[in-house]
Amino acid sequence: MTPATGHLLEVTYFVAAVLFILSLKWLSSPVTARRGVWAGEVGMVLAVAGTLLHRGIVDYKWIAIGLVLGAIIGVPLGNVAMTAVPQRTALSHAFGALCVTLVGTAEFYLRAPDVPPFVMSVLSLEVILGGLTVTGSLMAAGKLQEILPQRPITFKGQNLVNLAMLAVAVAIAARLVMHPEQMFLYPFMVGIALVFGVMLIVPIGGADMPTVISLLNSYAGLSAAAMGFVLNNKLLIVAGALDGASGFILSVNMSKAMNRSFTNVLFGAFGQVQTAVAGGVETRTARSASAEEAAAILSAANKVVIVPGYGMAVAQAQHKVRELYDALTKRGIDVKFGIHPVAGRMPGHMNVLLAEADIPYDKLLDMEEVNPDFPQTDVALIIGANDVTNPAARTDTSSPIYGMPILDVDKARTVMVIKRSMSPGFAGIDNPLYYLDNNLMLFGDAKAFVGDIVKELSGGGAHG
Ligand code: NAP
């Protein structure tokens, strides 16, 4: 590599690193999120292009084959439905971590038995984190796609067994740092990390999977940063550290939004489908209403808060919701959206869908902003949300979601819930909201039902 090429490589890496940082910054608000995606993509293209200038490359043929294969796998992965993004993300982590583990393994066998202690330490960190992320992410994707059972599988002494496995892997790593010539130990270290990834996910229920995926994202980032030290690549260190830190912060924020501690998510076996308490809520009756009645109630309101949830995403009802928003605001009704931080199946899920339907950003209120408004709200219209509105989280100490902050929709004068049946949401628990006196169930598919309300509203009936 000539000095000029080396200089160009450094500049390219620097610009890519700046773009990655800006991308994360911009992704944190819906107003700048699109720009954030672009910055991340351009940064990644620069990182790949810069790396292709590297002096170590002896043959571009295999790189070209890799690029074609990657594109063949990546393009269909990029086209999955929005509701399948969590499992798609888990698969991306699995691929990334597999790459890190394979590169680490190749580096070990290329260098052994002369691996300096520092390199062996970071290389071990790289392949242990990488290995457990490969199998952990595959398990998480399988659970979310419902190929694997969602319920947590627990057994006595599970945490102890898991910790012992990790301790053995770390002990082997320490031995290899001191004696890299004992190459026979290496496959055991990677093997244990792979099994540990499976064991880590087995006790975690489906409802906690998005949080776990974000944590696995963090592990994948840290292993990539470790790989950066092994390969002496500064951009990998920066990008891996950004990935590791942002994944970690996201998992902490998601745990907070569910009022769960990290240890509780990882070891709590949450997400078991509960059967309703005998003699409890299921004996009570819920009142239902038609689209015509719902439209009449809405047109008599002054203040409406719409609460979207996972069902809106499943039904792809966001454009119909936009029509409803237009029909109501045209009548002079004040319409806002109450967004729970873990509504849907991934952070920002509702914001993305509502932005797609061009709902003004200033109408989307976070939970803390909208909750004080509910007592003055005439109608809280819930569209395919369930757990995030469950008042048991406030009142029932025996509920698995007790303590999770919720949207206080039950405090509105009238609550209307669009969903197809009385089935529970993702946490698998009954919702006492549906049996309250001020609640009406609007049974049907979210898109079709909202469409029917819009038809009723445009069919006549003046506001007030
Ligand atoms: P939810 O509790 O899963 O409830 C969604 C409801 O939508 C279901 O009760 C379902 O009832 C209804 N539904 C499904 N398809 C529908 C359709 N086509 N039309 C109308 N309704 C439909 O959803 P949520 O209130 O948004 O809560 C999110 C859950 O995911 C929480 O438990 C949260 O902790 C968990 N979670 C989310 C994240 C995240 O990042 N967003 C992360 C971790 C965990 P029917 O079957 O009766 O229609």
Q: How far does the centroid of ligand 1 lie from the alpha carbon of residue 420, in Å?
A: 12
Predicted pLDDT of residue 464: 39
- The SS3 assignment for 271 reads coil
Range 68-78 average pLDDT: 91
Rounded to an integer, what distance in angstroms lies between the CA atom of residue 417 and that of residue 384?
7
413 and 428 in a single domain? The answer is yes
Predicted pLDDT of residue 257: 78
Say yes or no: CB of residue 342 within 6 Å of ligand 1.
yes
Model-level pTM?
0.78
- Given pLDDT bands bounded at 50, 70 and 90, which one contains residue 428? confident
* Neighbouring residues of 123: CB distance < 8 A, sequence distance ≥ 6: 104, 107, 108, 115, 226, 230
**Active-site residues: which are they?**
387
304 and 241 in a single domain? The answer is no
325-383 pLDDT, tens digit per residue, is 999 999 999 999 999 988 998 878 899 899 889 999 899 999 999 999 999 999 999 99
Is the preceding omega at residue 116 within 30 degrees of 0, hence cis?
no
- The SS3 assignment for 342 reads coil
Q: How distant, in Å, are the alpha carbons of 171, 263, 306, 400 from that of 397?
A: 42, 19, 28, 8
Range 274-280 average pLDDT: 43
Range 251-270 average pLDDT: 70
Ligand 1 atom 29, closest CA: 426
The token duo for 166 is 């990790």
Domain boundary among the residues 47, 79, 111 is at 79
Give the strand order in the sheet containing 439-443.
364-366, 334-339, 303-308, 379-383, 414-419, 439-443
33-46 pLDDT, tens digit per residue, is 889 999 999 999 99
Minimum-distance ligand 1 atom for the alpha carbon of 207: 44
Q: Is the pLDDT of residue 264 over 90?
A: no
- Would you say residue 284 lies in a domain? no
24 and 167 in a single domain? The answer is no
114 and 261 in a single domain? The answer is yes
Q: How far does the centroid of ligand 1 lie from the alpha carbon of residue 387, in Å?
A: 7
72 and 89 in a single domain? The answer is no
Say yes or no: CB of residue 214 within 6 Å of ligand 1.
no
234 and 304 in a single domain? The answer is no
Look over the chain and give the mean of its residue pLDDT values, rounded to a whole number. 89
Predicted pLDDT of residue 3: 75
For the residues of 388-452, what is the DSSP string, one character each?
GG-THHHH-TTSTTTT-----GGGSSEEEEEESSS---TT----GGGGSTTEEEEES-HHHHHHH
- Would you say residue 274 lies in a domain? no
- Would you say residue 302 lies in a domain? yes
Minimum-distance ligand 1 atom for the alpha carbon of 345: 41
Domain boundary among the residues 204, 239, 269 is at 269
73 and 97 in a single domain? The answer is no
The token duo for 71 is 């594109």
343 and 458 in a single domain? The answer is yes
Q: How far does the centroid of ligand 1 lie from the alpha carbon of residue 385, in Å?
A: 5
334 and 422 in a single domain? The answer is yes
- Quote the DSSP letter at residue 148: S
105 and 235 in a single domain? The answer is yes
- Would you say residue 198 lies in a domain? yes
Predicted pLDDT of residue 7: 85
- Would you say residue 169 lies in a domain? yes
Give the range of the structural domain holding residue 237, as residue numbers without chain letter. 85-269
Residue with the bigger pLDDT between 157 and 260: it is: 157
305 and 379 in a single domain? The answer is yes
Structural domain tally of the chain? Answer: 3
54 and 167 in a single domain? The answer is no
